[in-house]
Structure 1
C-alpha cells in the first residue's frame, strides 16, 4: 500500500462556515535527480503560504521515495486559486519543472473546512479508491 508523508501549513484565512475549494496536484517525478529540486521549489512556495491571498491551508505530501510530490491546497474560492496560479512564483515553478514529471490536477468542493475529511477525500483520489479520479 502506498504511504504518504504529509505536513500541514495554515493559510492566510481562518476557517469559515460553508464550502471550500480544494485543489490537489499529484506530480510524478521521472528522474531521481530531480526529486530534491522539485521538493525545494515546493518548500519555497509553502514558506509564502500564510501571505498568499485566499488560502485556508495546505498539505505538502510525498511518498517515501520522494518521486510523488503532492499538494492539497484549500482556498476560499476558485478565484483565489486562479490568482495564485497566475503569480510569478507559480509560473516559474511550472516553467522550471514542465518536463521533469507528469502532473495530475484534481479540484473539488468540500462542504466545509474539515481537515480530516478533506485529507481522506484526497487519499481516496490518490489511491484510486474513487471511480473516475485519475492518479499515478
Structure 2
C-alpha cells in the first residue's frame, strides 16, 4: 500500500464567512489525473481560481488539497446555499478548468448539507473521503 501524503492549503474565507451562521452546503471535489505532470497542472489551476475566492458571492470558505503521490487533488468548499455553488460552477474560469482536464483523469464529487458549518468536522469527513478511512 502506498503512503499517503495529504497537503492542505490554509483555510481561505469567502465573503459570507463572517455573516453566515446557519445551514451550509459543503462541496468536496477529487480529481485523479492520468499523469503526474497533469496532476500538478490541475493543482496550480486550482490555486489560481482560489485567488478570486474572497470576492465569490455566497462562499463561506475553502481548502485546496493534494495527494501528490497518488496524482490526486481537489477542494473542500463551503457555500451559503446550493444556488451560490451552482453560480460558481457556471463561472467561465471554472468551466475552462473543467474542460481543460475532461477525459484526462477521474473526477469525483460529493456534497452534503450541515445545520451549522464546523470546519474540523468538515475536514475530517473530507479526509475520510480522500484516504478511505478516519483521520484528521
TM-score using structure 2 length: 0.87
Per-residue CA shift, 1:42-90, capped at 9, x if unaligned?
1111011111111000110011437110200000001100001111011
Matched pairs, number = 130
User: Structure 2: where are the runs of 5+ without partners?
Assistant: none
Structure 1: distance between partners of 2:105 and 2:114: 28
RMSD between aligned residues: 1.7
User: Structure 1: where are the runs of 5+ without partners?
Assistant: 131-136
120-129 vs 99-108, which deviates more? 120-129
Matches within 5 A, 1:1-136: 2-7=4-9, 8-15=11-18, 16-65=20-69, 67-129=71-133
Structure 2: distance between partners of 1:24 and 1:74: 9
TM-score using structure 1 length: 0.87
The answer to whether the 8 A contact 1:22-1:110 is kept is yes
The answer to whether the 8 A contact 1:45-1:89 is kept is yes
The answer to whether the 8 A contact 2:32-2:39 is kept is no
The answer to whether the 8 A contact 1:35-1:66 is kept is no
The answer to whether the 8 A contact 1:19-1:112 is kept is yes
Structure 1: distance between partners of 2:57 and 2:98: 20
Structure 2: distance between partners of 1:3 and 1:78: 31
| 4+ residue runs over 6 A deviation | none
Structure 1: distance between partners of 2:17 and 2:42: 29
The answer to whether the 8 A contact 1:110-1:118 is kept is no
